[in-house]
Structure 1
Amino acid sequence: MKYLLFILLLTPLLSISQNKIEGILLEKNENNETIGLAGANVFWLNTSVGTITDLDGSFTIPYKKEYKKLVFSYVGYKTDTLLISNTKPIKHTLTAKGQLDEVLISTRKKASTRSFLSATNVINVSSSELLKAACCNLSESFETNPSIDVNFADAITGTRQIKMLGLTSPYILITTENIPSIRGASQAYGLSFIPGTWISSIQITKGAGSVVNGFESIAGQINAELQKPSTDDRLFVNVYGNANGRMELNTHLNSKISDKWDTGLYVHGNLRNQKFDKNQDSFLDMPLQEQLNLMNRWQYINNEKGLVSFINIKFLNDEKQTGQIDFDPKTDKFTTNYWGSEIDTRRFEASAKFGYVNPEIPYQSMGVQAAYSNHVQDSYFGFNVYNITHNSVYANAIFNSIIGDSRNKFKTGISATYDDYNELVNTTVYQRTENSLGAFFEYSYDNLGDLNLTAGLRIDTDNLLGTFLTPRIHLRYTPWDDSAFRVSAGRGKRSANIFTENQKMFASSRAINILDTNGSVYGLDPEIAWNYGVSFSQKFTVFGKKSEVTFDYYRTDFVNQIVVDWENPREVNFYNLKGESYANSFQAELSINIAEGLDVRTAYKYYDVKTDYSYSYGKLDNPLIPKDRVFANVSYETKRKDKGAQWKFDTTFNWLGEQRFSSTYGNPIAYKLPEKTPTVVTLNTQITKVFSTSFELYLGGENLTNEKQSDPILNSENPFEDTFDTTFVYGPIFGVSFYAGLRYKIN
């Protein structure tokens, strides 16, 4: 890598000849005055010869007769290319993207877009996409996106679990504004701790992520950008209620403190106090729940000095009660009267981000991120007790600059993490402290045309994982217009949090066994995996309408994995991988704009996910992962009228193929399950009536096919026997559900 950087740095110098061209690059400021544009890229097309404009916009660049096209580019401005035939001085003005022709400005922005310019395979989900469904929290934000699979984790807690590339959420780096947020103790329920209205957009990165964000990511990254006090509505109110007894209230209060400071208070509360047992198995279909979630954000912007900062303080209190419908914790806790469970979580978070962009050298910037969280969960499931206290500290410092010109960029910095875990599993205490310190370097090349490359390397030293390297690389090539071909590869390493990541096992009568004892993490070794991916995207037109097709293939190979073995129906066993474990994922996606306001998106996914279960049956498909999935989404918006009035319609269809049940071979005949699940078909829809830019109503239905898993709880009639198990959930439990809500805002 160092030789590549050295060559790229020297190439512009070797290209200098006696001829040169001088010029000045201009822009128009807010007062429509023409001024010099500093820090812009100036280079000859299809060469490595380039330069950066000075503070007054002036530049000097070598010239040869074979150089024909001179390119001017700058972030936020339209890239221009001039045909050059002599060495006369050049005076040119770049146009800001916000000043482009009116026909471009009025083009309806897609709610979900895939970048054709980034080396990484990134899908951006805007707030418009999030409003298409009952997006009450982050776990429910992917119903209209085929790249993420969502299902319930068990038949008790109502917790939604996500998968990407065939792997569960612990293998996905989940961040909030690029600060790791859903990890450790929050892994099981943390997705429901980020309210949907707080989210302004989501970025989904498939495959190996960036080394800047750490070494733990294996399947990809999900980043949630939060609403900014300076751009969010001064007042926002969202009221929501559904047929299964859930009520929700969200309020945003934002105010401008000064010309540089803005602040926002975000309040979320939800309540479910009605009991439902539609399948008449004596267990609640959904838990009783109360949640209070508060966030105070402070935002500082000083454009003159190039400073920006965010300070966040969050507090969460979440209480769940579930189990048999007649269970009363005051009288029945830890008795055999009725089976019940309570999960109480208290979480405090504080985070800060500070950024500096050098006003005189705009391609140089520095940033610092820091976060602290305290997570306390007290819970019991029948007679099983699970408590965890997790204190976490994260810090990251990053410096951005260029090599030669802005086509060659780099990021470098250091990061540190500290995690202290105290866990009580029934009567056994598990404690560990893990800290790591790392440094990273990431190089990016972008010829602003058909090729860009991002290659990174980080080195970390961890008191439990040792000292190790994490390489990652992404490449994009455009073979022809409106296309993008990508390849990626990278390594990830992590400590498995076997108890908090698999809490559904406590809602069963299974014995919990750790079969290896020589590793550094509760006797187990670190998880290590390589991820490889290839992707191709192509834009095209059908009868003059924009369309897009994408094909993705990714493979994850585990060097070591903590195998979670459910194949003995009376046990769950944890052990280091002995053999193979891999996940193959293929996705084909087609998006078509059929008519003005009418969009159709379809996708097919295929998974081949296998693990060697060396203590049971050998290599098997991982349980409860459908090999096939078909997805379709149709959305329609009418044209906006006066005051922004319009109708919005959205429908999402999902078909899930058969899934493998883990073995129930040792159970009595009455409690044996078939080898495969039935297929699952669901249909969700939502209608939104926008009365004005300030007020709208929405009405929706989930699972309109009334798909319901029969007998989701094994031996529900005898919850204290050794065949009781709630972990065999493959589809909806509640059946059809309707909801309604309103949104009110003052800009």
Structure 2
Amino acid sequence: MFVLRPLLFNELSLHLRPRPKLLNLFAFILLFPYFLTAQIHGDVVDEDDYFMTGATVSWLEGGGTTVDAEGKFYLDNVAGKDRFRISYLGFTTREFWLDTLTFPLNVVLTEAGTSLDAVEVTARDNGRSASLLNSRNIESISSKELRKAPCCSLAESFENSPVVDLTYGDPLTGRREIQVLGLKGNYTQLTLEKRPMLDGLASPFALDLIPGPWVEGIQIGKGSGSLENGAQGITGEINTELIKPPHGPKLYVNLFAGSQGRGEANVLMNHQISPTLWLGAAAHASLTENKHDFDFDRFKDMPDRRTGVGLLRLFRRGTDNWEGQWNILGVKDRRSGGQQNVHDHGQPTLNPYIIEQDNQSLEVWGKTGYYGFAKPHQSIGLIYSGSFHKLNNQYGGEFHRGTQRSGYFNGLYHTQIGNENHQLALGGIARMDDFTETLGSRDFSRGESTVGVSGEYTFRWEEAKEGASFRAFTAILGLRADRHNLGGDQFSPRVNLKYNPNEATAIRLSAGRGWRSPNLLVDNLNWLPSSREIIVGNESDTGLSAENPGFLGLETAWNYGINLTRDFIVKGREMQVVLDVFRTEFQNQVIVDAEQELANLRLYQLDGASYANSLLFSVNYEILPLIDVKLAYKYQDVKQTYATNGLRDVPLTPRHRALATVGYDGARFKAHLNYQWVGEQRLIDFDQVPEDIFLPHPQTSPAFGLLSLNLTYVANAKTEFYFGGENLTNRRQRDAIIGAWEPFDGGYFDATQVYQPIFGARAYAGVRWTLK
């Protein structure tokens, strides 16, 4: 029997403050079973062993469920029903009789195809889908879509996404941010297999530290989503599912090399060690070394980087009504950048402006559960984790140091009321975070704890009359109550409505409240290497305390959204149109104000209006056999109220964006061309910058476009070669660093106003080798 000792957190130095009752609770959790939903359960994959997320599992008489992100389904037993089907667009539907089955099932769907004389009808999965059946507004991305880009990190997997915008980072820290619904990624809840993903001090580089080749799929939830994982997702939730050992390849190797001096290697191994146990391991190594300085300002255009990530996984799946998984993730990431040497025209300080960033993380998490209740519609599940993160950073003469110790527990219970049309989900979360953080001699430490409960009621209705057209309605009403030790009581109501007037259309409405606790320094990491001093709070702020100087107050907001998803059949091929309209309104928000004084960056609580309006329109269509086209347009209106300047556009937030991709998905050869257009953006005011500083920045950045190409050759069932280029038009922002000639002694030094890529055209090549 696999047993985790109850003193695991002590042994890993992850304890916050030893509490015997808490340790006993975690010991109980580790031995308690997980995840259930129903007596009828199993896995659904395609012929390449990829999860068929979103496939429909339904009784022939009506009613059913869908396959989840892990390829699993749970179907409630219903008296009088003994025959069900599993279907997915473009794949052959399979039907089953209950009295002939042994659970859990392992179902393989094959692509549909039929020949009539010289006519061949086929259907394909293009790797990206917006389901008409899902009750919430979720876009799913499979590993097939991820292979259309170099995608050596989770961050790069969004380069082809119309929903998630990827910024271009800065040359000093090297980090890249995402934006969702016009707002920074801080307001989107990031989860790794439905648990917090490298958050807190680790959040600036979280997306860089999850390798793309490890990813099985991504679910992007827009707007107010589920409350089961917390209420931190103000603009949505991005959940990443890693490849699972029971379904993963026996061995997978991915090698990558780029012209910017970057090389990466990824290895995955999976092995069944007993009838019920699977062991998985994954390793990632990344090295970037270069001295590129295309604008001759003596600063590296990107930092050198040495990264190692390791993952060990143990899965248990059996026929005795319980299963579980246990995981250990370790990360070591070191980046070196800044000035390569001092300027020869008389920089007063002869030592170069050095930037060193050293981040180390260790996470242990698991899931256990039981699905052997007398009533098959009942379920209970537990998710638990402990994590430790340490950072040791230097920005010129300033040192940023910190440690974070966190514990997390989430318990979930699912049942139904009366029949399958009325479902209830109950949950409880307990979380503790201990932050020790300093910037120079200033203390930003704090201790936070949250205890909360949630409930969600789901009502489902489908047109069941024989011969009637398909119609369906779903309503999800949720409420979460949390007690935060510093921010007080927080109540988060949410509602999600979906109506299907026919089989090809889904209309969704959502509204809800969310909240988060900001990380003052790491949320604004790009401002640390600058000549500004960070000033926290103002006269009206009451949230500052000597015991928790790093806490300025919670951020809270309401989000409202409407979605229309419509499928068409045009010339025998499917077209999908998606329209999203969202508005986010803040009641509390930490304002980052760089325009009061040149010498200071002020962080203070909002006093006035702050909102983000977002509209997204996208079209996906297979214009010719094996040739897909995706077009998207996004409009964003994002404003905040500043203490001295009133309501203004938020800097570095383009009002208009557009995306166009063309892909050819042949059996041997695949090609994908991607074009992104970014409209004008407001930059911070430069009026106060001294005249002697060379400043080519406009007050509004120009619009620009980027072109990338990915080519893949499938040599055989095991081997793929890929190569391509990014930023093929060689678009670069010159003189992005203001005051680069005298970073220590000049009147102003700043590298935050980056609106275009710093690095020019890049080429890459790689190989994927898979042993099933």
> How high is the TM-score relative to the length of structure 1?
0.86
Distance 2:182 2:729 in 1: 25
Q: Which amino acid aligns with 2:370?
A: Y
Distance 1:631 1:598 in 2: 17
Among 451, 460, 466, which residue is 2:473 paired with?
451
Match of 1:172 in 2: 188
Q: Which amino acid aligns with 2:721?
A: L
* Residue 263 of structure 1: how far off its partner (Å): 0.7
| 1:348 is aligned to 2:349 | no
Among 478, 483, 492, which residue is 2:500 paired with?
478
* Residue 737 of structure 1: how far off its partner (Å): 0.2
CA contact (8 A) 1:41 1:406 kept: no
SS of the residue 1:140 aligns to: helix
Distance 2:329 2:41 in 1: 42
SS of the residue 2:293 aligns to: coil
| 1:465 is aligned to 2:487 | yes
Among 551, 560, 578, which residue is 1:550 paired with?
578
Distance 2:259 2:491 in 1: 51
| 1:363 is aligned to 2:392 | no
Q: Which amino acid aligns with 1:680?
A: F
CA contact (8 A) 1:588 1:605 kept: yes
Distance 1:225 1:618 in 2: 42
Distance 1:241 1:505 in 2: 31
SS of the residue 1:160 aligns to: coil
Match of 1:573 in 2: 602
Deviations 1:283-333 (A, max 9, x none): 11111111111000111101x2232211110111111100012389xxxxx
CA RMSD after TM alignment:
3.0
Distance 1:541 1:54 in 2: 33
Match of 1:710 in 2: 734
CA contact (8 A) 1:78 1:97 kept: no
Distance 2:88 2:584 in 1: 39
Q: Relative to structure 1, is the Cα distance of residues 228 and 29 closer, same or farther in structure 2, using a 3 angstrom cutoff? A: closer
Q: Which amino acid aligns with 2:751?
A: T
SS of the residue 1:152 aligns to: coil
Q: Which runs of 5+ in 2 are unaligned?
A: 1-39, 45-56, 64-73, 90-96, 115-120, 463-470
Match of 1:272 in 2: 288
Q: What is the 5 A alignment of 1:428-447?
A: 428-447=442-461
Q: Relative to structure 1, is the Cα distance of residues 385 and 454 closer, same or farther in structure 2, using a 3 angstrom cutoff? A: same
CA contact (8 A) 1:510 1:722 kept: no
| 1:652 is aligned to 2:681 | no
| 1:137 is aligned to 2:153 | yes
Match of 2:80 in 1: 59
Among 409, 416, 424, which residue is 2:423 paired with?
409
Distance 1:217 1:27 in 2: 30
Match of 1:617 in 2: 645
* Residue 128 of structure 1: how far off its partner (Å): 0.5
Match of 1:19 in 2: none
CA contact (8 A) 1:197 1:250 kept: yes
| 1:309 is aligned to 2:304 | no
Q: Relative to structure 1, is the Cα distance of residues 53 and 353 closer, same or farther in structure 2, using a 3 angstrom cutoff? A: closer
* Residue 182 of structure 1: how far off its partner (Å): 3.5
| 1:505 is aligned to 2:496 | no
* Residue 426 of structure 1: how far off its partner (Å): 1.2
* Residue 401 of structure 1: how far off its partner (Å): 1.3
* Residue 335 of structure 1: how far off its partner (Å): 6.7
Among 270, 286, 311, which residue is 1:295 paired with?
311
CA contact (8 A) 2:60 2:85 kept: no
CA contact (8 A) 2:171 2:303 kept: no
SS of the residue 2:407 aligns to: strand
Name the % identity: 34
Distance 1:53 1:229 in 2: 24
Distance 2:111 2:402 in 1: 57
Q: Relative to structure 1, is the Cα distance of residues 275 and 405 closer, same or farther in structure 2, using a 3 angstrom cutoff? A: same
| 1:729 is aligned to 2:754 | yes
SS of the residue 1:212 aligns to: coil
Match of 1:63 in 2: none
Distance 1:102 1:319 in 2: 48
Match of 1:250 in 2: 266
Among 654, 662, 687, which residue is 1:634 paired with?
662
CA contact (8 A) 1:442 1:454 kept: yes
The 4+ residue runs of structure 1 with deviation greater than 4 A are 26-30, 39-45, 52-55, 72-79, 90-102
* Residue 557 of structure 1: how far off its partner (Å): 0.1
Q: Which amino acid aligns with 1:619?
A: L
Distance 1:207 1:182 in 2: 22
CA contact (8 A) 2:499 2:506 kept: yes
Distance 2:58 2:698 in 1: 64
Q: Which amino acid aligns with 1:728?
A: Q
> How high is the TM-score relative to the length of structure 2?
0.83
SS of the residue 1:502 aligns to: helix
CA contact (8 A) 1:327 1:340 kept: no
Distance 1:53 1:381 in 2: 55
SS of the residue 1:530 aligns to: strand
Distance 1:456 1:442 in 2: 4
Match of 2:566 in 1: 538
* Residue 152 of structure 1: how far off its partner (Å): 2.4
Q: What is the 5 A alignment of 1:691-710?
A: 691-710=715-734
Among 565, 588, 592, which residue is 2:617 paired with?
588
CA contact (8 A) 2:202 2:359 kept: no
Distance 1:268 1:111 in 2: 24
SS of the residue 1:232 aligns to: coil
Match of 1:103 in 2: 113
CA contact (8 A) 2:83 2:98 kept: no
Q: What is the 5 A alignment of 1:320-359?
A: 320-326=335-341, 336-358=350-372
Aligned length: 675
Match of 2:766 in 1: 741
Distance 1:131 1:683 in 2: 17
Deviations 1:41-79 (A, max 9, x none): 69789xxxxxx9997x7529xxxxxxxxxxx88684799
Q: Relative to structure 1, is the Cα distance of residues 450 and 423 closer, same or farther in structure 2, using a 3 angstrom cutoff? A: same
Deviations 1:417-475 (A, max 9, x none): 11111111111122211111111111112224421111111111111121221111111
> Which of these two proteins has the greater Rg computed from alpha carbons?
1
CA contact (8 A) 1:273 1:288 kept: yes
SS of the residue 1:734 aligns to: coil
Q: Which amino acid aligns with 2:750?
A: D
Among 551, 554, 565, which residue is 1:526 paired with?
554
Distance 1:692 1:283 in 2: 44
SS of the residue 1:186 aligns to: helix
Deviations 1:658-711 (A, max 9, x none): 000011111123455322001121001100001112001000100001110011
Distance 1:235 1:139 in 2: 24
Distance 2:720 2:751 in 1: 40
CA contact (8 A) 2:341 2:352 kept: yes
CA contact (8 A) 2:690 2:747 kept: no
Distance 2:485 2:259 in 1: 50
